[in-house]
Amino acid sequence: LRTDVLTLLKCPSCGVESTFSAEPALETKTEIEVGTIMCGGCGSWFGIRQGCINFISKPSQQVESERAAQATIDARYGEEHPEYQTFEEDEDEQRAFVLSLPKGYPPTAEQAPVVDYALDALKLNGREIVLDLGAGMGWTTAAFAQRGCRAIAVDVSDLYMPRSRFFCREGWYFDRVWGDMANVPVASGVFDVVFANAAVHHSPDLAATAREAARVLKPGGKLVFTNEPVAGPYEKAPYRAVWGR
Ligand SMILES: C[S@@+](CC[C@H](N)C(=O)[O-])C[C@H]1O[C@@H](n2cnc3c(N)ncnc32)[C@H](O)[C@@H]1O
Ligand SMILES: [Zn+2]
């Protein structure tokens, strides 16, 4: 976490925006890695660990089941790829894996052309403030950071999101927040882009996620969902451009 994100946050306890202060316990040259932030509205404290702010004090049923599913999927992938099994213990291997994204992992490799299409279509000028919902390991958030944008990744995953620190350390910094895309702990009307890749179909409440996207966008801001496994009126164009069908 870097303290300039504090004005972009909203307290999930009292709903007051932009009033946080930070107390670092461990700072690296990249960011505050361990510490707490306090809401100036209600005095609630939220932890920072592995550089991520934790706004999920009490995980919902949906969050619990997402986390359990990810542990299962990860273990299964590890059985198929023995080199992956050890990487949670080995910083260098983990870093190499994360920095290989999207190419180094079949699901993200397959999605990358559509994300590239969307990034081009957005015609970014590098001054945008971007919210990446359900960002996982953060490879799409890093892509925005690489283009100069100031980005925030929101996800519920205690497994995936900490891995994003490797992008941040590489110079593609973005802030990471454990929070729910149905009740997003970020301030209203400040984002130029709300983005999500293959994530919105995980929302516990699609209507609430849509309302939240509308709340946090600036007037004229852009909403981009890519690689959702649903049919939609805009889906065909990017797919046709990329896949020729
Ligand atoms: C298929 S993954 C996509 C991850 C990432 N966008 C990518 O492209 O690699 C779906 C993500 O949605 C996240 N997710 C599930 N429920 C969520 C919720 N309620 N709020 C925020 N993120 C959630 C999961 O933790 C997971 O990282
Ligand atoms: Zn508060």
Q: Whose CA is nearest to atom 14 of ligand 1?
A: 134
Which SS3 state, helix, strand or coil, does residue 96 take? helix
Q: Whose CA is nearest to atom 23 of ligand 1?
A: 134
Which atom in ligand 1 lies closest to the alpha carbon of residue 111?
8
Question: H-type helices in 14-172, by residue range?
Answer: 61-80, 82-85, 91-99, 106-121, 139-146, 165-169
- The pLDDT tens digits of the residues spanning 182-235 come to 999 999 999 999 999 999 999 999 999 999 999 999 999 999 999 987 655 565
Q: Looking at the predicted structure, is the pLDDT value of residue 239 above 90? A: no
> Which of the ligands is closest to the CA of residue 21?
2
Cα distance between residue 150 and residue 105, in whole Å: 25
Q: Whose CA is nearest to atom 24 of ligand 1?
A: 134
Q: What is the pLDDT of residue 34?
A: 98
Q: Is 213 in the pocket of ligand 1 (CB under 6 A)?
A: no
Q: Whose CA is nearest to atom 10 of ligand 1?
A: 199
- The pLDDT tens digits of the residues spanning 68-122 come to 999 999 888 888 888 777 777 789 999 999 999 999 988 899 999 999 999 999 9
Cα distance between residue 145 and residue 24, in whole Å: 24
Q: Whose CA is nearest to atom 4 of ligand 1?
A: 136
Q: Kindly report the backbone phi and psi dihedral angles of residue 14, in degrees, each rounded to the nearest multiple of 5, phi listed first.
A: -115, -10
Question: Are the C-beta atoms of residues 164 and 137 closer than 8 Å to each other?
Answer: yes
Q: What is the pLDDT of residue 211?
A: 98
Question: Are the C-beta atoms of residues 158 and 71 closer than 8 Å to each other?
Answer: no
Ligand 1 pocket test: which of 155, 158, 206 has the largest number of ligand atoms within 8 Å of its C-beta? 155
Q: Is 155 in the pocket of ligand 1 (CB under 6 A)?
A: yes
Q: Whose CA is nearest to atom 25 of ligand 1?
A: 157
How far does the centroid of ligand 2 lie from the alpha carbon of residue 44, in Å? Answer: 6
Ligand 1 pocket test: which of 101, 157, 200, 212 has the largest number of ligand atoms within 8 Å of its C-beta? 157
User: pTM here?
Assistant: 0.93
The answer to which of 10-14, 17-21, 71-75, 82-86 has the lowest mean pLDDT is 82-86
- The pLDDT tens digits of the residues spanning 51-75 come to 999 999 999 999 999 999 999 998 8
The answer to which of 31-40, 72-81, 85-94, 125-134 has the lowest mean pLDDT is 85-94
Which atom in ligand 1 lies closest to the alpha carbon of residue 108?
9
